[in-house]
Structure 1
Amino acid sequence: MVAGLCRSLRDGVLDRCVDVFPCLADPARRSNLVLRAALVVLHLIYAGILFLFDDDLIEKTKKEPWYTALYLLLWIATLVQYFLTAGSSPGYVIDAMRAVNQRNVTYRKAPLASKQPASSKNGSLLVAVEGGSGTNSQGSNATSWAKLVMDMYPPGTSVRNFTCSYCHVEQPPRTKHCHDCDRCVLQFDHHCVWIGTCIGQGNHCRFWWYICEETALGLWTAIFYVTYLQANITRAWWKDVIMIVLLIFLSILIIFLLLLLLFHSYLVLTNQTTYELVRRRRISYLRGVPERVYPFSKGVCRNLYNFCCFRTNIYTFEPLPTPLELEEKLRPYTFLDVLKCRCC
């Protein structure tokens, strides 16, 4: 009887919330909102308790306000970067396909005698192919999506081999269907529950910067906590207990964030994704590639440039490397290669 009363009360509260906030009707969006609210509350707790308990920090802030201002600036930047990453698109295949189709429709409607390139509503959205002639939404050559994708696979590949059985669209290389988002993602890395969205070509750089900022913020906060405990360990025992418990939990998070930052930095330098590294033997285009060969790597410098200078309005497709390119990547470096910066 009591359980039934609690359930009816809970359902009534949820119905009221859904009426006020329609977005809460979707369980997935509701869980994302709860997770994001919990992350904001966690940041507020760590910063609030620090300024509430540490009188020395308040005095230092009055004398050197720039130090605390930098910490608060990093705190705000971390939360802003989190919400930017969570709200960004990882690069869905369906969006790239629509851009190509829109370009083709606009190209056909353009007058043949006009010397100006055809424009469309997606005129600022580009589709570039690595290692070949890039196509864009304002280009003069209309290419169908299927032909564009087939050109990135070895000759003789069947359309069925790279057609998604869920979305029924042709997948470019390095694409995977995410069952949580129910969409195919370009350069799929993983579905991040923490962020609430997929990590792919469109937001991997933002995700890396968020991890970097979160790690720096955690280390800085841990320094504040350790400094407080060293100066006030014998004053109020209940404050010390709260600070120690929070510091232990924060230390675990910092270790996890540091490992995650190093792991994704390695992926960036070698132009890999988490999915490709973990499922290397199960991915068809990586089965015949030796373990120590990175088929999509273009050197450390160019990998970093493509990763950091990636524009969110560009969909970049990387064709599968040819056997000659794989053989070249397999060849060990010589002293002459180092002088020529082959590794870069």
Structure 2
Amino acid sequence: MKRNDLKQTLLTGLITLGLGAQLTSLPTLAQAGQPPQAEAASAVRYNTVTIEGQEIFYREAGQADAPVVLLLHGFPTSSQQYRNLIPELAEDYRVIAPDYPGFGASAMPDRAEFDYSFASYATLMDGFTDALALDSYSLYVMDYGAPVGYRLALKEPEAVEALIIQNGNAYDEGLLEFWDVFRSYWADGSAETREPLRDFLNVTATEWQYTHGVPESHAHRLSPDAWMLDQAYLDRPGNQEIQLDLFYDYRTNVDLYPEFQAYFRAHQPPTLIVWGENDYIFPAEGAAPYLRDLPEAELHMIDAGHFILESHGPEVAGLIREFLDKEIQD
């Protein structure tokens, strides 16, 4: 999809969702480049870089020579899920958050021209780290970001200085009732089992992902702009079919769980686990198994849902800074 077409599609979607009065145009995206040293560390920059013919959008803040934190987003969102975390870490770290093709402001090629799969995303992220000369980095993974990030770690295990895991699964124990309808789809890939999953792509389902499991004491922290922006991207023509393709491909991540676990055991990266214990998608049962293979990992179960940064952002940022300062800066 061309950039101008993307702008118009998003404007139309946001107007439909009631945000049109707040948005008259999308900002022009800067081309990739090194940040000016004089710029405030917390200032977020919006860049693009072309990897294997695909335009990859990313957010970045921090000084060019600082230790890198690479943030990989989940479904159904984009790097926008890290919009508040990035400046929280940017004083001491170079923080980078890309969008995968079909998500956020990255390219959305036709399904006939691009393989929408987690293997493809990992390959592109590998190229992304090469293009930005990221020889080492701490890796924050959440939801879809977990299998993308773990596949990346299998390709370049020595590049990963530390892991920050947030509601991202790598163990069978973490796939409970929510996943039953997906297992039916994985079993045969038929149109009959594909169609029910379309219900996960409407605005009601998107809002539910943000609000379910959030305690009343923190509900006031949730910004509806987050799920409404996600929905605008999901509502682009052709995007639903991309998402349904990815739902089917998710089965390949489950097949790789033993390899992910072997990576943890072999390399023992310093690991921080921050987990929303009320998450129905990736429930609390998926967190503790990490300690089998990463016995030195630091685990924090938080009274939150799926998108923990929305309801507990400052608290999680504090845990991350403390962890990184100890493991990376020392």
Instruction: Give the TM-score normalised by the residue count of structure 2.
Output: 0.22
| Higher helix proportion (structure 1 or 2) | 1
